[in-house]
Amino acid sequence: MGSFFKKDLLVFWRDRKEILLSLLLPIVIIFVLNIAFTGVFESESESVTIDLAIVQEDDEALGFEQFEETLSDMDFSVEEREQVLEQAGEVTPIQLIHELFNDPELKEWINIQELTEAEASESVEAGTLDAIIKLPEGFTYGVLSQVMLGEQSEIPLTIQAEEQSNEVSVLQEIVYNFINTINLQFAIGATTGSDITEAKLPQGGTEIVEGVETYTITQYFTIAMTTLFALFISQTIALKTVTEKRERVFNRILLTNSNPLNYLMGKMLATFCITWLQMMITITVSQLILDVFPERNFDFWIGLIMVITVFALTVAGLSAIFTTITLNMHDSNAVSGLTTLIIMTLGVLGGGFFPIQGLPVFMQKIGEWTPNGLTQVTLIEWIQYTEMKGLVMPIIILIVFFIVCIIIGMAIFPRRGRV
């Protein structure tokens, strides 16, 4: 088997163009994608600055009086009426709106002005304001009637903007969450019968889970491109068999009374070594240029190398199947088309071209069982958690995949006289 292994390495080494493509292309694509998409994601992740005007047309005192009159006409006892009025006096809808947008965290990226409707509309048209929040007449009464009495009337809070934008979308989301939070808190209070002394405003921000790291778009591109191009190594090595068939190399091997399976094992071993080197070089160069995995400890790199090594084994297993397919088929174009189709399918399902989260759920489940998809998911989880126990099952599955590929390759390997 050693001589066959050496032969395949030398055959691959002679094709300098193939070597350069295998080593440089994934690195170049990772670099280009990182430049192209990092700017997009960074621009989206920059703090959104919203210039907002609040137009208040409602008289809070008058609204409370209207609510009190409505309450007096309803079938409540004196004690119940006093309790509802006490809670209503602590709600102060307009004050809650002002407290929401004057929250220290929101004030960092939301600039608030209190204007008349005419002034605000003029500023929006001029482009100096992003949106207007209008508190029309009846706002206080409407809010109190809904949250305290459960009346099915919409809260008359309106957002006006010249056109839809990221800023307006963020503002709509803030207001939507605010309204839902207020409704939920009063619903809980009504169910439990507890007194509501203060309506808590919705809290925003980023939740940091202890021990969990986020993964970046650069890390995704690096992992996706590395695993995708590793799959093509299995095809490249297998298609060298076409030339060997044409030059009757395999027939001469049979005449030497060598075990034909040694030929297959040599292909697999060569594929494993070349794939492992390609992936390690791609990861190393990407790390040196882009600092893909910053401030990682020694254990992280050991786990990364372990997963890469096992994945290289699965690529070698694929090479065994591709080699036997090449030996059994007489049309080299058909072989090339079939192996390319298999690799592209694995690439799509396994997240080689875009994150598998963009696929339907059932395709995501399938993609997570492809060798490259499983490797990608495993490495992303390794980046986030760095727990060794999380590598055990994926590594076992990849080894089983490798063994199954060997069995299939040996089962369909041509016998003497069939090549």
User: Average pLDDT for residues 194-202, to the nearest whole number?
Assistant: 46
Of the two residues 109 and 365, the one the predictor is more confident about is: 365
Of the two residues 66 and 207, the one the predictor is more confident about is: 66
Looking at the predicted structure, is the pLDDT value of residue 118 above 50?
yes
The pLDDT score that the predictor gives to residue 153 is 60
User: Whole-model pTM above 0.95?
Assistant: no
User: Average pLDDT for residues 234-256, to the nearest whole number?
Assistant: 79
H/E run at residue 17: helix 16-45
Nearest-angstrom CA–CA distance, 184 and 177: 10
Contact, 238 vs 326, CB < 8 A? Answer: yes
Longest Cα–Cα distance in the chain: 108
Backbone angles phi, psi at 52, to 5 degrees: -130, 140
User: Average pLDDT for residues 206-212, to the nearest whole number?
Assistant: 46
User: Average pLDDT for residues 176-187, to the nearest whole number?
Assistant: 68
CA-closest candidate to residue 135, choices 165, 155, 105, 111:
155
H/E run at residue 22: helix 16-45
Average pLDDT along the chain: 82
Extract the tokens encoding 223: 């992992």
Please provide the DSSP assignment of 299-355 as one string.
HHHHHHHHHHHHHHHHHHHHHHHHHHHHHH-S-HHHHHHHHHHHHHHHHHHTTSSS-
Nearest-angstrom CA–CA distance, 227 and 371: 9
CA-closest candidate to residue 15, choices 228, 240, 232:
240
The pLDDT score that the predictor gives to residue 188 is 59
CA-closest candidate to residue 307, choices 352, 373, 351:
373
What are the distances in angstroms from CA 51 to CA 123, 168, 170, 368? 10, 10, 12, 44
The pLDDT score that the predictor gives to residue 273 is 95
- Three-class SS state of 133: strand
Summarize pLDDT for 338-372 with one digit per residue, the tens: 999 999 999 999 988 888 877 888 888 999 999 99
Top-ranked range on mean pLDDT: pick from 159-173, 181-195, 308-322: 308-322
The pLDDT score that the predictor gives to residue 258 is 67
User: Average pLDDT for residues 205-214, to the nearest whole number?
Assistant: 50
Looking at the predicted structure, is the pLDDT value of residue 333 above 80?
yes
Summarize pLDDT for 384-400 with one digit per residue, the tens: 888 899 999 999 999 99
Helix segments in 203-248, DSSP class H: 217-246
Of the two residues 375 and 157, the one the predictor is more confident about is: 375
Confidence of residue 180 (pLDDT cuts 50, 70, 90): confident
Please provide the DSSP assignment of 105-117 as one string.
HHHTTEEEEE--H
Of the two residues 276 and 47, the one the predictor is more confident about is: 276
Nearest-angstrom CA–CA distance, 232 and 240: 13
The pLDDT score that the predictor gives to residue 208 is 42
Burial class (CB in 10 A: 0-12, 13-18, 19+), 213: middle
Summarize pLDDT for 6-49 with one digit per residue, the tens: 877 888 888 888 888 888 999 999 999 888 876 555 544 445 67
Extract the tokens encoding 306: 């372990």
Burial class (CB in 10 A: 0-12, 13-18, 19+), 292: buried
Residue 66: other Cβ atoms inside 10 A: 17
Backbone angles phi, psi at 112, to 5 degrees: -105, 135
Contact, 303 vs 382, CB < 8 A? Answer: yes
Ranking 66-80, 114-128, 163-177, 305-319 by mean pLDDT, the lowest is 163-177
Domains of the chain from N-terminus onward: 2-42+212-411 (no CATH), 49-192 (3.40.190)
Looking at the predicted structure, is the pLDDT value of residue 233 above 90?
yes
Summarize pLDDT for 315-325 with one digit per residue, the tens: 999 999 999 99
Of the two residues 166 and 59, the one the predictor is more confident about is: 59
Q: Which residue, chain included where needed, has tokens 């694995």?
A: 346
Looking at the predicted structure, is the pLDDT value of residue 262 above 80?
yes
User: Average pLDDT for residues 108-136, to the nearest whole number?
Assistant: 85
User: Average pLDDT for residues 92-102, to the nearest whole number?
Assistant: 80
